[in-house]
Amino acid sequence: MPFKYEELKSYPVPDAQMVLLPERVITYALGIGMGADPTDEKQLRYVYEDNLVIAPMMAVVVGYPGFWLKKEDTNVDWPKVLHGEQEIEIFEPFEVAGAYLGSTEVLEIYDKGPDKGAIVVSERVIKHRDTGKLTAICRQTNFCRGDGGCGGPGGSAPRPHELPDREPDSICDTPVLPQAALLYRLSGDFNPLHADPAVAKSAGFDQPILHGLCTLGHAGHALLKTVCDYDHTRFKSMKLRFTKPVYPGETLRTQMWIDGNVVSFRTIALERDVVVLGNGRLELN
């Protein structure tokens, strides 16, 4: 049986807080492939405690309440949940050693009908715990494949960003370490799908796959490097659609179309020539 629309729409997702200690900040940056060139001083700022700055993509793990759709009282068929889209909007740069509080709520649920699934859109507002200043907002779209017929309104989430119909203006390749999933999970996502070969095979994969948000981080790294010259303050917002899984050890190629302060992008797993992130849009300050 699917969950009930009214109950999930008003589900009390617990608040979560995080203190951005240097070790935590560096662990996240290493998990998304930063520090691959330890002689690059601009890149080193994200993985070395002297003059440390925080990658804006880290918003996806700050104040994260965990995989709350898995909780028994949500009645969600959680093994069939897919992470469809992700959006990040930055209002102020994160501070090293700053304490942040994330408050999550369900914005809307679109019922595709029995046997067709439901789309759950949630939003996490991240504020500085001590000052109360709004720092970032993360919006997430999940496709609950086993929960169609939940009683919500029909329709679907807004149309994704369309990429320009021309050759990319720039590309950036970022290697994914073979141990990348094992490293990224230290930032808070301990789903065994990304670590245990037996669990991965039971889910239909040849080996553990990379976290979708780790793939997002790699694309964000490519964008920071290519269009921001590693200046984190230029990063205003980012949104994308997850299209295919990534395997640790692959090379990710991010293609970019630059139109003023808007950069459209997509990311390809080079060895398999498949799009793993699509409909990407980065807005710059």
The residues carrying an active-site annotation are: 189, 194, 209, 212
Nearest-CA neighbor of 278 among 243, 251, 250, 239? 243
Amino acid at 160: P
Residue 58 — φ and ψ, nearest 5°? -65, -10
Pairing of strands 81-90, 134-144: antiparallel
Q: Sort residue 117 into left (φ over 0), alpha (ψ -120 to 50) or beta.
A: left
Q: Dmax of the chain from CA atoms?
A: 56
Distance between alpha carbon 68 and the CA centroid of its chain, in Å? 16
Cα torsion angle, 158, 163, 164, 170, sign? positive
Task: List phi, psi (to 5°) of 158.
Answer: -55, 150
Q: How many CB atoms lie within 10 A of CB 114?
A: 11
Phi, psi of 212 (to 5 degrees): -60, -40
The answer to whether 225 and 237 have CB atoms below 8 angstroms apart is no
Classify 229 in phi/psi space as left (phi over 0), alpha (psi -120 to 50) or beta. Answer: left
